[in-house]
């Protein structure tokens, strides 16, 4: 670890200096997100003590999932910190059916912000790590304000992505395509300080993370892949250890730092899986790729997928490249019917987009 103390603000600023044409808009946007992270972390920490922030909100989101009070708080905090900065032309949140328009006089910025305000929110009341996921695209349409077309871009065009994790400590991880960098919040001074510079997902990997309780719903290829991870099928390597928290951000974070694969696969009754392409999968796949790993939908690179709707779901296999490619291999071998069906859906969707 370096002896220099580097705040997140300084780090983002130093990175920006490498691009003489940069206006500072993206830098400021990342810094606003760090502030949102601090505010959500503060509220998360008090959740057990404060009934106005603990428990279900009594509402459901557009997926029919119960919203927690902290989901609603985190969602509004991110919106409120970013709707008047002149940096964005639109936002999209997991908690809202449509894109979030920015008031016209503030909505002429060059960027689009997509976010999952609180990932793993069913774990809040049992004191398990949760997180916030964000992704930033450049505006591509010509009009004055942002439209759905600015939001529906493939992940390979992301200009930045990251997450905050509210765990035993609060961290913010971000990439602008130039390495993945991790900062830990020093609560005594309220600053994110560089603690994990240039993260590379380590080899050999250690873990596999999935909800094996749903194996009954899986296709044969995914079951065989899991047997391979356990060292039962195939070459008989030593088994990988199973770890599944049920907060994707916590599972992803552990595997990013220690090596492993997280997967939430397609299921017989849910051929498109559960994870949200735009608010969850794209950001994490972009981070994984910039740390030397890989994110796939079971067929190919998630970052190549042209989204066709805001709340599109995707199967997700993410982590060490070697483990993710092995999943693709088993799926290609055993799940041909699903591959054909899903590919047709994806390609059809791309034409419509």
Q: Calculate the dihedral angle through the C-alpha atoms of 291, 297, 301, 302, rounding to the nearest 10 degrees.
A: -80
Report what 211 binds from ligand AHG, Mn ion, none; CB cut-off 5-8 Å by kind: ligand AHG
Q: CB of 86 within 8 A of CB of 102?
A: no
Q: Kindly state whether residue 119 participates in binding Mn ion, applying the rule CB under 5 A.
A: yes
Q: Kindly state whether residue 335 participates in binding Mn ion, applying the rule CB under 5 A.
A: no
Stretch that binds Mn ion, among 15-23, 94-102, 169-177, 250-258 (CB under 5 A): 94-102
Contacts of 161 (CB under 8 A, 6+ apart): 133, 134, 135, 136, 174, 175, 282, 283, 284, 286, 287
Q: Which tokens is 293 given?
A: 């790993």
Report what 65 binds from ligand AHG, Mn ion, none; CB cut-off 5-8 Å by kind: ligand AHG
Q: Shortest distance, CB of residue 212 to ligand AHG, whole angstroms? A: 10
Stretch that binds Mn ion, among 75-83, 90-98, 177-185, 328-336 (CB under 5 A): 90-98
Report what 85 binds from Mn ion, ligand AHG, none; CB cut-off 5-8 Å by kind: none
Report what 246 binds from ligand AHG, Mn ion, none; CB cut-off 5-8 Å by kind: ligand AHG
Report what 256 binds from ligand AHG, Mn ion, none; CB cut-off 5-8 Å by kind: none
Q: CB of 88 within 8 A of CB of 107?
A: yes
40/194 with CB nearer Mn ion:
40
Residue 105: exposure state from Cβ atoms within 10 A (0-12, 13-18, ≥19): exposed
180/281 with CB nearer ligand AHG:
281
CB-side exposure of 95: number of CA atoms within 13 Å? Answer: 25
61/289 with CB nearer Mn ion:
61
53/149 with CB nearer ligand AHG:
53
Chain contacts with ligand AHG (rule: CB under 6 A) = 65, 94, 116, 119-122, 211, 246-248, 274
Whether cis (ω within 30° of 0) applies to the bond prior to 204 is yes
- Measuring CA to CA, which residue among 8, 17, 10 is closest to residue 37? 8
26/245 with CB nearer ligand AHG:
245
Whole-angstrom Cα Rg for the chain:
20
Beta bridge partners of 318: 262, 295
Q: Shortest distance, CB of residue 64 to ligand AHG, whole angstroms? A: 11
**CA 176, 290, 325 angle in degrees (round to 5)?**
150
Return the residue of 116, 251, 328, 335 that touches Mn ion, per CB under 5 A: 116
Distance from C-alpha of 174 to C-alpha of 195, rounded to nearest angstrom: 12
Report what 75 binds from Mn ion, ligand AHG, none; CB cut-off 5-8 Å by kind: none
Question: Which residues are at the interface with Mn ion (CB under 5 A)?
Answer: 94, 116, 118-119
């Amino acid at each position: 670890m370096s002896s220099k103390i580097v705040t997140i603000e300084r780090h983002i600023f130093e990175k920006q200096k490498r691009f003489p044409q940069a206006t500072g808009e993206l830098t400021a946007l990342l810094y606003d997100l760090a502030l949102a992270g601090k505010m959500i972390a503060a509220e998360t920490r008090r959740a057990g003590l404060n009934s106005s922030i603990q428990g279900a909100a009594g509402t459901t989101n557009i997926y029919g999932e119960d919203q927690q009070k902290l989901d609603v708080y985190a969602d509004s905090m991110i919106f409120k910190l970013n709707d008047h900065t002149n940096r964005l032309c639109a936002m999209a949140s997991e908690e809202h059916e449509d894109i979030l328009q920015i008031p016209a006089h503030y909505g002429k910025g060059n960027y689009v912000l997509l976010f999952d305000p609180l990932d793993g929110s069913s774990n809040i009341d049992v004191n398990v790590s949760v997180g916030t996921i964000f992704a930033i695209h450049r505006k591509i349409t010509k009009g004055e304000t942002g439209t759905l077309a600015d939001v529906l871009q493939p992940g390979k065009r992301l200009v930045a992505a990251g997450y905050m994790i509210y765990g035993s400590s609060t961290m913010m991880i971000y990439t602008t395509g130039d390495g993945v960098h991790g900062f830990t919040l020093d609560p005594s001074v309220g600053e994110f300080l560089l603690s994990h510079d240039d993260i590379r997902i380590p080899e050999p990997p250690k873990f596999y993370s999935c909800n094996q309780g749903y194996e009954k719903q899986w296709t044969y290829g995914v079951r065989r892949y899991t047997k391979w991870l356990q060292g039962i099928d195939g070459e008989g390597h030593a088994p990988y250890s199973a770890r599944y928290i049920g907060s994707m951000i916590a599972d992803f974070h552990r595997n990013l730092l220690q090596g492993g694969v997280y997967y939430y696969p397609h299921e017989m009754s849910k051929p498109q899986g559960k994870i949200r392409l735009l608010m969850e999968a794209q950001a994490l796949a972009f981070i994984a790729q910039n740390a030397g790993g890989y994110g796939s939908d079971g067929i190919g690179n998630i970052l190549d997928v042209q989204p066709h709707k805001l709340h599109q779901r995707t199967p997700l296999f993410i982590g060490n490249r070697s483990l993710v490619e092995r999943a693709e291999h088993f799926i290609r071998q055993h799940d041909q019917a699903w591959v054909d069906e899903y590919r047709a859906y994806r390609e059809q969707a791309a034409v419509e987009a």
